[in-house]
Amino acid sequence: MTGLGPLLGKELREQWRTKRLLVVLIVFAAFGIASPLLAKYTPELIRALASDELANAVPPPTTADAVDQFLKNVGQTGVLAAILLAMGSVALDKERGIAALFLTKPASRGAYLLAKLLAIAATLLAGTLAATAVGYGYTGWLFETLPVGGYAAMGLLLFLQLLVYAALTFLGSTLARSSLVAAAFGIAGLALVAFIGALPAVGSYTPGGLSEAGRALALGQQPERLIGPVATNLATVIAIFVVAWWAFRRQEL
């Protein structure tokens, strides 16, 4: 992994210079605020606008609704951000011939790839932490104060979930010469993961399974499965990186 430090520094500066880090922080924080608000006031809005019969059928909002909204909104936006962050990471460098330039310096191909993936992970982590912090504050304000450790653990599990989708798109970006093909690879990966997630025996080991565990932890409950899904998803990210590295080593740049 020769040259990892300087390459990672360059990638992190790039995330800041292109305003990607800032935008991810703002968008994630906005969804962190919006989720408890939606959970709290959507039933009130329906009651105000609907007929009496329908209004009576709407149950009062609960803290679990706020956590569900958070996981849904930040999860969906996060997947989009993960794909957008990773799609051009390697493919654009190859398209413009920049990758070959970097690798003429004393830097290994493994370090080049790892620096890119770590910078994407750092941006996603920063965004997820921002969303988690404001989501926690707003949930406490509008509903009840949840255990801070459990809520933070939910944020970290959400981050791991997004990292899997980023890694899948990153693999596409490494294999392809076009960022659009990489995005298509990420979306196909998303569909595949959703399909596997629907299978009864293995569903809880997919990234979607991490949401279930995160939900339970945030609400102060014991998740049915935790270590298995975390280990499986971490191993998936590492395996995807190894495949990307193996393929990249054999590519003509």
Partner 1 sequence: MTLQEALPLILPLLALQLILIGISLWDLTRPDRRVKGGNKWVWGLVIVFGELIGPLVYLFVGREES
Nearer to partner 1, 30 or 118 (CB): 30
Note whether 238 binds partner 1 by CB under 8 A.
no
Note whether 84 binds partner 1 by CB under 8 A.
yes
- Rounded to whole angstroms, what are the CA distances from 96 to 20, 65, 151? 20, 47, 42
Nearer to partner 1, 116 or 215 (CB): 116
Site for partner 1 in 112-141 (CB under 8 A): 134, 138, 141
Residue from 7, 8, 79, 81 touching partner 1 (CB under 8 A): that is: 81
Note whether 224 binds partner 1 by CB under 8 A.
no
Phi, psi (degrees; rounded to nearest 5) at 58: -80, 120
Pair 154, 214: CB distance under 8 Å? yes
Note whether 16 binds partner 1 by CB under 8 A.
no
SS3 2: coil
DSSP letter assigned to residue 85: H
Note whether 185 binds partner 1 by CB under 8 A.
no
Residue from 29, 91, 114, 154 touching partner 1 (CB under 8 A): that is: 29
Note whether 22 binds partner 1 by CB under 8 A.
yes
Q: How far is the CB of 36 from partner 1 (least distance, A)?
A: 9
Q: How far is the CB of 89 from partner 1 (least distance, A)?
A: 11
Note whether 23 binds partner 1 by CB under 8 A.
yes
Note whether 37 binds partner 1 by CB under 8 A.
yes
Pair 103, 109: CB distance under 8 Å? yes
Pair 157, 133: CB distance under 8 Å? no
Q: Six-digit token pair at 253?
A: 């740049």
Phi-psi region of 97 (alpha: psi -120 to 50; beta: other; left: phi over 0): left
Distance CA 4, CA 201 (A): 39
Name the residue among 139, 175, 146 with its Cα closest to residue 35: 139
Q: Six-digit token pair at 232?
A: 């499986």
Phi-psi region of 61 (alpha: psi -120 to 50; beta: other; left: phi over 0): beta
Note whether 182 binds partner 1 by CB under 8 A.
no
Q: How many residues bind partner 1 (CB under 8 A)?
A: 26
Pair 212, 64: CB distance under 8 Å? no
Note whether 215 binds partner 1 by CB under 8 A.
no
- Give the contact letters, 88-107, x = binds to partner 1 (CB under 8 A), - = no: ----x---------------
Q: How far is the CB of 48 from partner 1 (least distance, A)?
A: 10
Residues that bind partner 1 (CB under 8 A): 18-20, 22-24, 26-27, 29-31, 33-34, 37, 41, 44, 77, 80-81, 84-85, 92, 134, 138, 141-142
